[in-house]
Each structure stands twice: as C-alpha cells, then as structure tokens.
Amino acid sequence: MRTAGIPARSVSFSPSISTSVRDYVNRCESLLVSRYFMYKQLYFHPIRRVYNLHLGDFLARHLPDGHFPATLDGLLSVSDSEIAVAMSKAARDPALPGHDPARRILTRQHFRLLYQATGQTILDDPRRAEEIYNAAAGEFGGENVKFDSIRAGGGAVSFPVALKHGRIESSLIVSDTLNQIPQVAADFVFVSPERKKEATKWLQDQAV
C-alpha cells in the first residue's frame, strides 16, 4: 500500500456493502491517512532531512569506496554500533575522513533551513528551489549550501473488497478517499549555521 493523503470528501458506500465491510474500509482509510500525516510531519521535517544529508556525507567519506559493501555478508558485517563509534572518533579528530559531517551531527551544528518549497509552490515553479540553491552555492560556496528534493506517495490505493453475495470490487469503487491520494513533495535549501545570517539577508534581497 502506498502513503495516503487527506480525504477530499466523505465516503459514499453502495447499499450492497455490509456494515462490517464498511467498517473495514473506514479503518483502512484511517490507517492510510494516519500514515500520510506521520510521513509528512516526520520524514519531511527539515531537520530530519538535513541530518540525513549529513549522515550520507559522513558515510561517503568513512566507508571503503564511499559506499556499503555490495554483498549480503559484507553488508551484515557493518553494524550501527561500529558506525556510531567511527562517527564519534571522526567528530573529535579533524584528520579523520568525515570529520565535518560527524561533528555537525554530534554537536548539533547542522545546516539550517534557508528555503523550503511545498505544494502549490512546487506546482507553480518546480525548479525554484534548485535555482535558489545554485545561486546560493555560487554566493557562499558549495560547501556551505545543500539541496534536498523528495517526492513520495500520490495516486490511488487499490485492493480487492468482498461485497455481499460474493461480489468482488476494487477499493477505488467503494471509497472516494482512496481515489484521491495527493503526492507529498518538498524541496529544501540548507545553509551552514556560520553563513545563515548573511544568507537569510541575501535571500530576502532576492525578493523570493
């Protein structure tokens, strides 16, 4: 099942649907709507997104060849504890690979949100955040600016529903809600905390 969105209108059921089936469909809708809000509020939170970027930067510098092993045994040999220990060491030693992202993660010196585009802003101008990122990177240096773009969900959630008299229908027939799952989309531009103040003023001067 894919991530669900907010129902646009109440569900209209056919008389051929029993009360128990109605209840089950309502529960599916409630579950999917709850997943949508959790996904949007947690996984799309700017701080969660930027920590994900910092972690990726650290792993790219720490792991051999910049990525996890391609074999199952090799992948299972890398534990969270080992990564945490390596990150702690790198945060304390500027000479170790991944020092800067490790330091930012463990001391909460993460990059700050400079610009965020969601919903209608993305529909009106899908490349706006990327253009701001490119301009900011040119102004403050690529090492001080990060860009993150994510799209998830959207479309319809379809599964079979058993009706009275043994008839089978798609959930899209019996539920308006499951036909209208909006895509969750967000674009972020982050800047280092050391340049946040001047970057904010610069962005305001651009009349974004």
Q: What is the pLDDT along the chain (208 residues), one digit of tens a residue?
A: 444 444 444 444 444 555 577 788 888 888 887 888 887 888 889 999 999 999 999 999 999 989 999 999 989 989 999 999 999 999 999 999 999 999 999 999 999 999 999 888 888 899 999 999 999 999 999 999 999 998 877 777 888 888 777 788 888 888 777 777 777 889 999 999 999 999 999 999 986 5
pLDDT at position 18: 57
* Fold exhibited by the domain 111-208: Alpha-Beta Plaits (3.30.70)
pTM (predicted TM-score): 0.77
pLDDT at position 159: 82
Within 13 Å of residue 184, how many CA atoms lie on the same side as its CB?
Answer: 20
Q: What is the DSSP string of 145-199?
A: EEEEEEEEEEE----EEE-GGG-EEEHHHH-SGGG-EEEEEEEEEEE-TTTHHHH
